[in-house]
Amino acid sequence: MAGPSFETTTFVLLRHGETVLTGQRRFSGSGGSDPALSERGRWQAARAADALAARGDISAVVSSPLRRCQETAAASAELLGLDVSLDAGLRETDFGIWDGLTSAEVRARFPDEMAGWLASPTAAPPGGESFGAVSERVALARDGLLAAHAGRTVLLVSHVTPIKTLVRLALGAPDEALFRMHLDPAALSAVAYFGDGRTSLRSYNDTGHLRG
């Protein structure tokens, strides 16, 4: 009988670049207008692509199906000479009727719903998705990607909530940790998964490639 695999699989996590909604700090989930990258977002995607090409170890590119991620992923895939695969498990939270609104607007119009959402991972925006539901689908996507890419380094292009969720799960942190992490547009993070079940956060919210 074969023994256990002790291969290390690394997920390099790239948040998409800015859209017109990013600077306005509006909810932008998987159920809204699906905005494209802004001019600055395209610049950020290109800088991230340069940094990822310099690593020399990316063997696959997987993206959320939302447009802003596909455009960000395409910039890296082109430099790396790889195709982009889509995984719906990496899409952003569905914020329901809050999509397109600012936090201040949501607090003013839906104060009770907002308070409940911030207090419990099982609470969802009206017509939307709870953080608990997001965590379940992200974990399923993670497990599938680990099985498909064992022992390799894979670029995952996703959004704030799924990336924070992957980091939270890797650290064994509680649900409320999502509200205690900041993630910039086009920031890079990395998580290593070992064959014996251990995980290690290698980097988080690296934006060095966007400076200068």
Which is catalytic among the residues 18, 71, 92, 129?
A: 92
- Tokens found for residue 205: 């919210």
User: What count of other Cβ atoms lies within 10 Å of the Cβ of residue 63?
Assistant: 26
What backbone phi and psi angles, to 5 degrees, belong to 6? Answer: -115, 30
Is 126 in contact with 96 (CB distance < 8 Å)?
yes
- Tokens found for residue 22: 């990013």
Active site (annotated) includes residue 92: yes
What residues are paired with 39 via a beta bridge? none
DSSP letter, residue 102 = B
Rounded distance between C-alpha atoms, residue 174 and residue 35, angstroms: 31
- Tokens found for residue 8: 């290390």
Q: Which residues are catalytic?
A: 16, 92
